């Protein structure tokens, strides 16, 4: 029976793709060894570290994941900045960021904070690499929403890391602000509410994530106190219910990729994939969120960050009974670029299992996008690209599987930049630097102010508590 969604079946030594979209993705999972060697030589010659997001171009990601160069990190946006600092500590002389612009800005800010101002950071495109979600936080509507927060006593702004450094700065100037990621946002909000009585929480800019968080907290408020304390030891059902009365989220911000995981995708999944594991990013619309959350409650799915999704799939493969064969099937409810990291991790686990003499096992990754959601292009080497109209990976019959902004990070663009590093004058490379945000706000640079919400998050990640400076700011700043 032909399934409505394309998929890739992973085995220890081979892959098989069903559907045009999956075939286009799988093509880049077997990179040309010559191309891998060429890129590795460029990275080594120029002593360049690469930090890249899971969602980037599959051709580039396939080559990078096959390279033996030790200073390559493919991860979510939080770990990208951490990896860049570690690379600088290890002696890497330059960092290239493969992602959208707010990611390179975050990397630049964290390197500066760690004392590596002398290590240059590069993007691979001279043009801006945008993000629909980040741009929604830069819109006047977001500023007006924050004005409401500033007029409310005891307000804390919890801003998604996927925003520009200037937005973080202007937000923090108005309202005490801490950044979050999709993997730590729940704990961030609960911890802040536990530490500051009568805290008003303003989450933004992702509307779907905000609505999903509200649903999670409402469900938590209806559980037993014992169940609530298992999630956070300082809360009860009553305290979560009280927090919900002061929880606000922005209503006009979406990611163009996750926006498409809506009604049609959910109905097709229910009709044809009732027995599969369902994964979903916390940014997806409510219907997909509820589908994955219901599956998570049965230990048949996960809602969370890209790292949560990757770890869930790997854990299911690793924990499968050793004496049983079969196929594990997963709906990939996030950007299709995740497939490279999923394949690499799953194949390693399947190879280990096979070599130990255990039962044959394979994993199928299903893309909730129509099989025909590719476009033919005039490129002899590429042939097809995701997207009905060339790059979006969307169709009326399926979800939006790829981000056109992330795909501005191409193998050719990276190779061209690396080739120019020692030949071009420094001013020739200026368009490839992250924005510096040297403008002043209240006597300080935007970059300095915008870094503070990130540092508050890092303090929480390291200690499990809000920083004293942030708590003081929240409790003493007067409402405007």
How do residues 101-126 score in pLDDT, each as one tens digit?
Answer: 888 988 998 899 899 999 999 999 88
The verdict on 376 and 423 lying in the same domain is: no
Q: pLDDT at residue 88 above 90?
A: yes
Q: pLDDT at residue 394 above 60?
A: no
In a domain, 1, yes or no: no
**Mean pLDDT, all residues of the chain:** 85
Q: What average pLDDT does this structure show over 284-295?
A: 79
Each residue of 395-420: b (16+ CB within 10 Å) or e? bebbbbbbbbbbbbbbbebbbebbee
Each residue of 320-348: b (16+ CB within 10 Å) or e? beeeeeeebbbbbbbbbbbbbbbbbbbbe
The verdict on 394 and 260 lying in the same domain is: yes
pLDDT digits (tens, 9 = 90+) for 369-392: 754 544 444 444 444 444 444 334
CATH number at residue 141: 3.40.50.10800
The verdict on 307 and 372 lying in the same domain is: yes
The verdict on 74 and 140 lying in the same domain is: no
In a domain, 2, yes or no: no
Q: pLDDT at residue 335 above 50?
A: yes
Q: Are 265 and 396 in contact (CB under 8 A)?
A: no
Number of domains in the chain: 3
SS3 assignment, position 64: helix
Give the pLDDT score at 402: 58
In a domain, 344, yes or no: yes
The verdict on 268 and 394 lying in the same domain is: yes
The verdict on 289 and 396 lying in the same domain is: yes
How far, in Å, CA of 457 to CA of 459, rounded? 5
The verdict on 188 and 269 lying in the same domain is: no
pLDDT digits (tens, 9 = 90+) for 157-204: 999 888 888 899 999 999 999 999 888 999 999 999 999 999 999 998
Tell me: cis bond preceding 205? Omega within 30 of 0 counts. Answer: yes
Give the pLDDT score at 421: 86
Domain that holds residue 386: 7-27+256-403
Mention every residue, 6+ apart, whose C-beta is less than 8 A from residue 114.
Answer: 85, 88, 89
Mention every residue, 6+ apart, whose C-beta is less than 8 A from residue 428.
Answer: 420
Q: What average pLDDT does this structure show over 17-43?
A: 88
The verdict on 64 and 195 lying in the same domain is: no
Give the pLDDT score at 333: 84
Q: Within 10 Å of residue 446's Cβ, how many Cβ atoms?
A: 22
The verdict on 274 and 291 lying in the same domain is: yes
Closest CA to 187 of 308, 333, 310, 277: 308
Q: Are 246 and 199 in contact (CB under 8 A)?
A: yes
The verdict on 260 and 378 lying in the same domain is: yes
The verdict on 288 and 340 lying in the same domain is: yes
């Amino acid at each position: 029976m032909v399934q409505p969604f394309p998929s890739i079946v992973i085995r220890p030594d081979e892959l098989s793709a069903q559907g045009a979209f999956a075939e286009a993705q799988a093509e880049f999972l077997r990179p040309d060894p010559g191309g891998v060697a060429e890129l590795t030589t460029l990275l080594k010659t120029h002593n360049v570290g690469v930090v890249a997001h899971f969602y980037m171009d599959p051709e580039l990601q396939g080559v990078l994941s096959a390279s033996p160069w030790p200073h390559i990190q493919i991860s979510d946006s939080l770990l990208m900045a951490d990896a860049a600092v570690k690379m600088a500590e290890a002696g890497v002389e330059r960092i290239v960021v493969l992602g959208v612009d707010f990611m390179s800005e975050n990397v630049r800010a964290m390197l500066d904070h760690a004392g590596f101002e002398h290590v240059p950071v590069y993007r691979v495109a001279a043009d801006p690499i945008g993000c629909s979600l980040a741009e929604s936080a830069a819109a006047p509507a977001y500023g007006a929403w924050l004005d409401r927060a500033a007029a409310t006593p005891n307000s804390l702004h919890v801003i998604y890391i996927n925003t520009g450094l200037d937005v973080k700065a202007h937000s923090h100037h108005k309202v005490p602000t801490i950044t979050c990621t999709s993997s730590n946002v729940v704990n961030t909000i609960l911890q802040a509410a536990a530490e500051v009585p009568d805290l008003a929480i303003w989450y933004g800019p992702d509307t779907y994530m905000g609505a999903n968080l509200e649903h999670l907290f409402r469900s938590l408020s209806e559980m037993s106190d014992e169940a609530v304390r298992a999630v956070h030891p300082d809360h009860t059902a009553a305290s979560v219910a009280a927090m919900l009365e002061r929880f606000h989220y922005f209503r006009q911000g979406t990611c163009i990729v996750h926006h498409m995981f809506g009604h049609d995708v959910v109905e097709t999944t229910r009709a044809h994939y009732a027995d599969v594991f369902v994964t979903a990013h916390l940014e997806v619309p409510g219907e997909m969120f509820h589908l994955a959350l219901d599956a998570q409650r049965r230990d048949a799915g996960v809602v969370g960050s890209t790292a949560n999704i990757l770890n869930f799939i790997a854990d299911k493969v690793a924990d499968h009974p050793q004496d049983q064969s079969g196929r594990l099937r997963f709906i990939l409810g996030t950007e299709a670029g995740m497939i490279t990291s999923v394949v690499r991790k799953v194949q390693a686990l399947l190879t280990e299992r096979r070599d130990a003499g255990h039962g044959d096992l394979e994993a199928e990754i299903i893309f909730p996008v129509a099989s025909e959601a590719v476009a033919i292009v005039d490129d002899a080497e590429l042939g097809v690209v995701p997207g009905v109209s060339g790059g979006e990976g969307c169709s009326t019959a399926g979800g939006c599987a790829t981000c056109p902004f992330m795909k501005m990070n191409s193998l050719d663009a990276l190779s061209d930049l690396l080739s120019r590093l020692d030949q071009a004058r420094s001013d020739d490379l200026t368009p490839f630097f992250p924005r510096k945000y040297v403008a002043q706000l209240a006597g300080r640079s935007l970059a300095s102010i915008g870094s503070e919400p990130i540092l508050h998050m890092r303090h929480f990640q390291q200690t499990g508590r809000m920083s004293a400076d942030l708590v003081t700011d929240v409790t003493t700043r007067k409402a405007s």
